Structure 1
C-alpha cells in the first residue's frame, strides 16, 4: 500500500499502567510477572485516534475479542486498568507457583498506509494464558478523510451486491485452500467458507482477513483472501476503486 505523502503522521504511545503493589510483590517472590503491553495511536487526525483507541480499550477490557463486535459502551480508563489488573492477578490465581511461563497481553495499532482518500490501519492483539499457544487477533480499520468517518464493507458495496461479493470471496477461499490442501471439497467439509467483514483496501484490490480457526486450523495462521479490483467492478462503489 502507498505511504501517505504528508497528510497523516502517526505514532504509538504506551498505556501509562503499573501493576498493583500486591501483584508486584507476588512477581518478586516468583520472579514471573505477567507481560502487559498496550499501545495507543497518536496521529494528527484526532477523530481517527478516538475511534482506534476506543477499539483498543474494548479489546483490552473484553480480552477475548469477537471479530467485528461493535462497541456498545465505550470503556473508561478505569475499566481498562481494572481489566488489566484482573488479567494479571488471574495468572497467580490459576497457575501453580512452579510454573515458569507468564501470562501475556499485547494490543498495538499499526498504520498500513493509504489508498486514495482512505487511511488504513490494523489493530493486532495477542493473549496468552497457558496451553499450547497464545491467541493472536487482527482487525482492519478504514477511514475516509473526506467524510471523517470509518468505512465498513457494507459502505463499500453497491446495494444488493453483497451476495456477489461473497461469491468472489468464496472463489478466493478456494484458491487459498489449494495452497494448503490437496482436495478443496474435502477441506471445506471440515473448515467451511464463511464471509468475514474484516476487510481493507489495497493498491490492487480488497483483502479479507480471517482469525485463527475461522477457516483453518491454528497452524494455518490468519489467512488473507484477496479480490482484485478487476473483479469488483459493479460490486463495490466506484469511489472505492483507485483511479
Structure 2
C-alpha cells in the first residue's frame, strides 16, 4: 500500500500562521473544501486563482502539490486494506496567506497527516507569485544570496545546545532543505521543518532576513519562556 508520495514526515509549521498578524486578503484567489470519498478525516482546502489564464502556471503548481486523484486513490487503498486504520487516519491540507502587496503574493500550502504512533507529521511548501504578471517567482533568497546560508551554517555549528543536530551541514544542504517565503515588505522567512536540522522535540528552527538592512535573525524559542529575536553577526 503506497502512502501519499508528496506527504513528508515533517511537522506542519504553525509558526507561519503567527507571522500573519493581520488578515491577508487576496481577491484573486478562492478556496474549495474537499472531503475525499466523503471521508471527513480527509479534509482539503484547495486554493486556486480565479483567472486561470493569467495565473495558469500557479494553478498548475497547486494541482501538482494537491493531487486530488492521487489522494482519492490512496484513501481507497487505505480504507480497503485496513478499515480500522482508515477510521483513525487523518489528512488535512490547506493554504496560509502570509503576505501580499501590489507586486507579490506570498502563501504556503500546509499538510498534516496522522497514521498512528505518538504523533502525526506534516509538510509545507511555499509559493511566491508576481501579482502583476501571474507568474511564479523562482529567483528567491535560495538562488541569489548564499551569504545568508553561510551565516546560518555557522550559527548552527556554533549553537548546537539542545537545538540543532550536531551534523556538519553544507551550505548547499541548508539551502536545499530551507522553506523560504516572503513574510513582509522587507523580510524573508527561513524555516527548517522537523528533522531537517533539529530533532522533533526542538520544533522548527526559524530565521528571518531583512532585505533592507541585510541583517539576519534567529527566533530563539528554546532558551527561555519567551521567543527572543537574536541577530546573527
Query: TM-score, normalised on structure 1?
Result: 0.61
Q: 1:194 aligns with which of 147, 158, 174?
A: 174
> Which residue of structure 2 aligns with residue 221 of structure 1?
203
Are the aligned partners of 2:42 and 2:91 in contact in 1 as well (CA < 8 Å)?
yes
Are the aligned partners of 1:103 and 1:129 in contact in 2 as well (CA < 8 Å)?
yes
Deviations 1:210-233 (A, max 9, x none): 22210111223333221222127x
Please state which structure has a larger fraction of its residues in strand: 2
Please tell me whether residue 12 in structure 1 is matched to residue 31 in structure 2: yes
Please tell me whether residue 170 in structure 1 is matched to residue 162 in structure 2: no
Please tell me whether residue 120 in structure 1 is matched to residue 101 in structure 2: no
Query: TM-score, normalised on structure 2?
Result: 0.63
Please list, as runs of the form range in 1=range in 2, the aligned pairs for 1:59-208 lying within 5 A after superposition.
59-61=65-67, 80-94=68-82, 97=84, 102-115=88-101, 117-152=103-138, 155-156=139-140, 161-171=144-154, 173=156, 180-181=162-163, 187-189=165-167, 194-195=174-175, 196-203=177-184, 204-208=186-190
CA distance in 1, matches of 2:142, 2:59: 30
**Greater Rg, structure 1 or structure 2?**
1
Please tell me whether residue 36 in structure 1 is matched to residue 42 in structure 2: yes
Please state which structure has a larger fraction of its residues in helix: 1
Give every structure 1 segment of 4 or more consecutive aligned residues whose post-TM-superposition deviation is greater than 6 Å. Answer: 2-7, 190-193
Q: How well do the aligned residues superpose, as a CA RMSD in angstroms?
A: 3.9
Aligned residue pairs, count: 192
Change (3 A) 1:116 1:88: same
CA distance in 1, matches of 2:105, 2:159: 27
> Which residue of structure 2 aligns with residue 212 of structure 1?
194
CA distance in 1, matches of 2:198, 2:142: 30
Q: Which of 41-50 and 8-17 deviates more? A: 41-50
Gaps in structure 2 of 5+ consecutive residues? 1-19, 216-233
Are the aligned partners of 1:124 and 1:138 in contact in 2 as well (CA < 8 Å)?
yes
Are the aligned partners of 2:31 and 2:46 in contact in 1 as well (CA < 8 Å)?
yes
Deviation at 1:128, TM superposition (A): 1.6
Change (3 A) 1:173 1:227: farther
Are the aligned partners of 2:193 and 2:203 in contact in 1 as well (CA < 8 Å)?
yes
Deviation at 1:171, TM superposition (A): 4.9
